[in-house]
Amino acid sequence: MDFKTKIIKVRYGETDQMGFVHHSNYLKYFEIARLEWLSELGISYADMERDGILMPVVSASLYFKEPLFYGDNFWVTVKLKKKPKATIEFDYLITNQKEKMICTGNTILAFLSPITKRPMRCPNFLVEKFN
C-alpha cells in the first residue's frame, strides 16, 4: 500500500550553506510522510503513545540521487514493506515538482513497552489496519 503526501515546500532554514536541503532533514520528511499516512488510516500516533505503544526508529538508510533546494516542492511516497511483527518497516521515495527522483530510503521502527522499554508485538488493531 503506497501513500503519497500532500505537497511539501522546502523552507530556507532546511538548506545548508551550499543551498542544498541539509541531509538531516530527509529523515524529518520521512517522519512527516509516516505520520500523515497513519493519520489517513485513522491512527493517531499521540493516542498510541497514551495507550502505551512507543515506536522509536531503530534503523534508517537514505540514498540521495538529486538535491532539493530552497523553494522546491516535493512529495514523499511511503510504503509499508511487510506485515509488522515486533518492528514495522517503511520504504520512501521523494520526488520533486519536475517528477525527478530525489531520494529513496528506509526506516525500521520497533514497538516498545513504555514500562519495560523492551520490544513487544505489533498491536492487533494496527495489524488489522494494515491488511
2 a catalytic residue: no
DSSP notation for the chain: -EEEPPPEE--GGGB-TTSBBPTTHHHHHHHHHHHHHHHHTT--HHHHHHTT-B--EEEEEEEESS--BTT-EEEEEEEE-S--SSEEEEEEEEEETT--EEEEEEEEEE-B-TTT--B-PPPHHHHHHH-
According to the model, what pLDDT value does residue 22 have? Answer: 96
pLDDT of residue 94: 98
pLDDT (0 to 100) of residue 131: 77
Domain parsing of the chain, residue ranges = 2-130
Task: Give the pTM.
Answer: 0.92
- Position 125 scores a pLDDT of 86
Q: Which residues contact 42 (CB under 8 A, 6 or more apart)?
A: 129
pLDDT of residue 45: 87
Nearest to 30 by CA among 101, 71, 86, 90: 90
The ranges of the chain with pLDDT < 50 are none
Q: Which of 16, 47, 51, 91 is catalytic?
A: 16
CATH class for the domain made up of 2-130: alpha beta
pLDDT tens-place string over residues 84-93: 999 999 999 9
